[in-house]
Structure 1
Amino acid sequence: MNWITNYVRPKISSLLSARQVPENLWIKCPETGEMVFHKDLEANQWVVPSSDFHMRIRARDRLNHFFDKGAYDLVDLPSAPVDPLKFRDSKRYVDRLKEYRAKAEMDDAVLVAKGDVDGLPIVATVQDFAFMGGSLGMAAGEAIIKGFETAVAEHRPLVLFSASGGARMQEGILSLMQLPRTTVAVEMLKEAGLPYIVVLTNPTAGGVSASYAMLGDVHIAEPGAVIGFAGARVIEQTIREKLPDGFQRAEYLLEHGMVDMVVHRHQLKEKIATLLKLLTKAPATLAEAPNPVVEQADNQNALPAPAEQPESRA
């Protein structure tokens, strides 16, 4: 055995060779161009600390931050036909689905979970843009409807986080049929007298914005989220006019009455919990309830009321 060839040379080569750095070790802020360490970004709920830019967040990460102590139960979702139209573009639709399922570690673009938010039991439906742009197909439609059915059956409010580019073209008219189906599911929830809060994230577009995403009792948008039916470039080419700055951004829609509020991601849980307690008339938590001991002490420290003066008689 030649120890120089078999031992020394491989050791020297390993020391001199370039080390492989993971591609996602540093992430570039789309707004400022600053490079942010991905662990810091993940710890900050995928909000860039310096610029406050809200990046897209995965569905499971959102659920972990949203529910109390990150505890929740995923709802079993019904199955749907796979590739009903036998669609093929640059590759077969079934192959594309397999690729995204392996990459996103999800069966489709929607997750439905049950858990508590500040002690209030709710159902949460989350779309994940990482799965084919959060597009709405038959499986996603079935999942969204299942979320509404679960909320009605267990008498819980429903919070939906939308993130989608619209209908899934590989399923054609079957994808578009999910718009009226999900709209009917929204009406089921409202007939049951249960609150429905929609959180519009970046982006919410196409058929999603024309159906369940714009039918909530309260519409909350994350800062900078793009929300609309058609893209700004398509609209400009159609009307042959320049659109205003910030058109279709959350802040622009707030100014023009299309959304109710724009809330930072770090404050979403607290804001939604407050809204749901108001809408359901739920009792205040211990932290919010008045403290009788403090009230009694305050009453004892208060100045005595002035004695009533006897009426003067003429």
Structure 2
Amino acid sequence: MNWIANYVRPRINSIFSRREVPENLWTKCDDCGTMLFHRELSDSLNVCSNCNHHMAITPRERFAALFDAGNFADVAVPDPIPDPLQFRDQKKYPDRMRAAQKSTGEKEAMLVALGEIGQTPIVAAAQDFSFMGGSMGMYVGNAIVKAAQEAVRLKRPLILFAAAGGARMQEGILSLMQMPRTTVAVQMLREANLPYIVVLTHPTTGGVTASYAMLGDVQIAEPNALICFAGPRVIEQTIREKLPEGFQRAEYLLEHGMLDRVTDRRKMRDELISITRMLMRLPPPVKGHLAAPDDMAASAPDPAKAPTRTEEQPSRK
């Protein structure tokens, strides 16, 4: 037995060798290139702490941060015909669907949920851009109609998070028909006098902006989100002119009256709670169930004054 070769050398190598770091511990910011620790990035809702760039976030992650204590219940959406046009390009449409479902872990491009925000019951719907670009197909149309029906049935406001590249080409005209369908769903909310709040995230384009995404009673967007029907490159090629800087971004649309607010994702929950309670004619939101220490001191009873029966709870007799 060679003691140096079999024991000493491996021991030295184990001490001085570089430890391997798992690849999923750090994420590179798409905008500034800063390496962000995954826990810190998750705590900041996928917002870069260096440049404030808003990265993609899944509907379930968004709902976990939006609803009280992260509790929400999925709403079942009717399934459409799987492949109505028998569409095939480089791959069959069902094959693309299975690949998207495997990569995202979701059934389709939109998730509908019930829950409470700031103790205010709501219905929420969110698109997943990582699922075939969040494209609007028959399932997305069914999801919005179902969300509107649940909101009317339960008398709750509907909050929708839009993120899409447009209509789903594999469903052709059936996809385009979701534009009037979803417009009718929004009208159902109007007739029931229920608020419809839209949060536009990056990117929201195509037929989505020509229908339900721009019909909200209140239009909010995340910072620097691309919001348009046709993209800047297509417009520049059509008019053969250079577009203004920041054209079709959230801040540009806010300046030109297309939006009501541009709100940081980390402040979005508080913003939505305030707007929802105001539109539902509810008292202003409060932090927690107990009064703040100063309020408790101001409202504390005088110790010298003994409570009487009328100041206590009424007798059960």
Contact 2:274–2:284 (CA under 8 A) maintained in structure 1: no
Contact 2:25–2:38 (CA under 8 A) maintained in structure 1: yes
Structure 2 gaps, min length 5:
1-5, 302-317
Paired AA for residue 201 in structure 2: T
Distance in 1 of aligned mates of 2:80 and 2:23: 35
Secondary structure of the residue aligned to 1:229 is coil
Paired AA for residue 160 in structure 1: L
TM-score under structure 2 length normalisation:
0.85
TM-score under structure 1 length normalisation:
0.85
Distance in 1 of aligned mates of 2:286 and 2:36: 39
Q: Show structure 1 runs of 4+ deviating over 4 A.
A: 17-24, 285-293
Distance in 2 of aligned mates of 1:287 and 1:170: 47
CA deviation vs aligned residue, 1:182-205 (integer Å, no higher than 9, x gap): 000000001000001000000000
Distance in 2 of aligned mates of 1:284 and 1:267: 17
Report the counterpart of residue 294 of structure 1 in structure 2. Answer: 298
Report the counterpart of residue 183 of structure 1 in structure 2. Answer: 183
Distance in 1 of aligned mates of 2:144 and 2:167: 14
Report the counterpart of residue 166 of structure 2 in structure 1. Answer: 166
Report the counterpart of residue 129 of structure 2 in structure 1. Answer: 129
Report the counterpart of residue 306 of structure 2 in structure 1. Answer: none
CA deviation vs aligned residue, 1:283-304 (integer Å, no higher than 9, x gap): 334559995973799xxxxxxx
Report the counterpart of residue 82 of structure 1 in structure 2. Answer: 82
Contact 2:28–2:35 (CA under 8 A) maintained in structure 1: yes
Report the counterpart of residue 37 of structure 1 in structure 2. Answer: 37
Contact 2:277–2:285 (CA under 8 A) maintained in structure 1: no
- The residue correspondences of 1:24-63 to structure 2 (distance < 5 A) are 24-63=24-63
| Residue identity (%) | 54
Distance in 2 of aligned mates of 1:84 and 1:287: 50
- Residue 170 of structure 2 corresponds to residue 140 of structure 1: no
Structure 1 gaps, min length 5:
1-7, 298-314
Distance in 2 of aligned mates of 1:106 and 1:76: 13
Contact 2:198–2:219 (CA under 8 A) maintained in structure 1: yes
Report the counterpart of residue 276 of structure 1 in structure 2. Answer: 276
Paired residues, number = 288
Contact 2:77–2:146 (CA under 8 A) maintained in structure 1: yes
- Residue 215 of structure 2 corresponds to residue 251 of structure 1: no
Instruction: Sort the Cα spacing of 1:24 and 1:167 in 2 relative to 1 into closer, same or farther, 3 A.
Output: farther
